[in-house]
Amino acid sequence: MKKFEETEAYKSIDTMLEAYRNGDENLDQFPDSIEKQTLLQTINKWKSEMSNKRLTSEEISELSEKLNSSNEVEQTRIILDILDNYDTSSDELKEIFTDHKELLNRIRKLNKN
């Protein structure tokens, strides 16, 4: 039995992923195949799930107010909820986290252990 890394399907998917990362979002350069269809469906499902996890500006403002008016235990709960359940790439969200940098560093330190 071949190792997973050596199969043609794996090589094909790896090549398609590389093309996707390089901007071929529909994988137009590849012929239709089960691998292509599955990969595109998986990517679209993931993108859909991630878009549901974005916070609006209003939600970010509310979280900022909550964080600033809460005690440290509640702040930790809010921060962990955000990190575990939402897309944290927003600049606004990063700005909020900057205000609580010390607490974030302690959380990260505890998570490493």
Q: What is the pLDDT of residues 9-34, one digit of tens each?
A: 778 888 999 999 899 999 999 999 99
Asked whether the beta carbons of 6 and 13 are under 8 A apart, the reply is no
Burial of 107 (0-12, 13-18, 19+ CB in 10 A): middle
Asked whether the beta carbons of 16 and 27 are under 8 A apart, the reply is yes
Tell me what percent of the residues of the chain surpass a pLDDT of 90: 30
Q: Which residue has the higher pLDDT, 113 or 69?
A: 69
- Where do the structural domains in the chain lie, given as residue ranges? 4-51, 57-112
- At residue 47, the 3 state secondary structure works out as helix
Give the confidence band of 6 by pLDDT, cuts at 50, 70, 90: low
Tell me what percent of the residues of the chain surpass a pLDDT of 70: 91
Asked whether the beta carbons of 93 and 82 are under 8 A apart, the reply is yes
Give the confidence band of 80 by pLDDT, cuts at 50, 70, 90: confident
Q: What is the pTM of this model?
A: 0.52
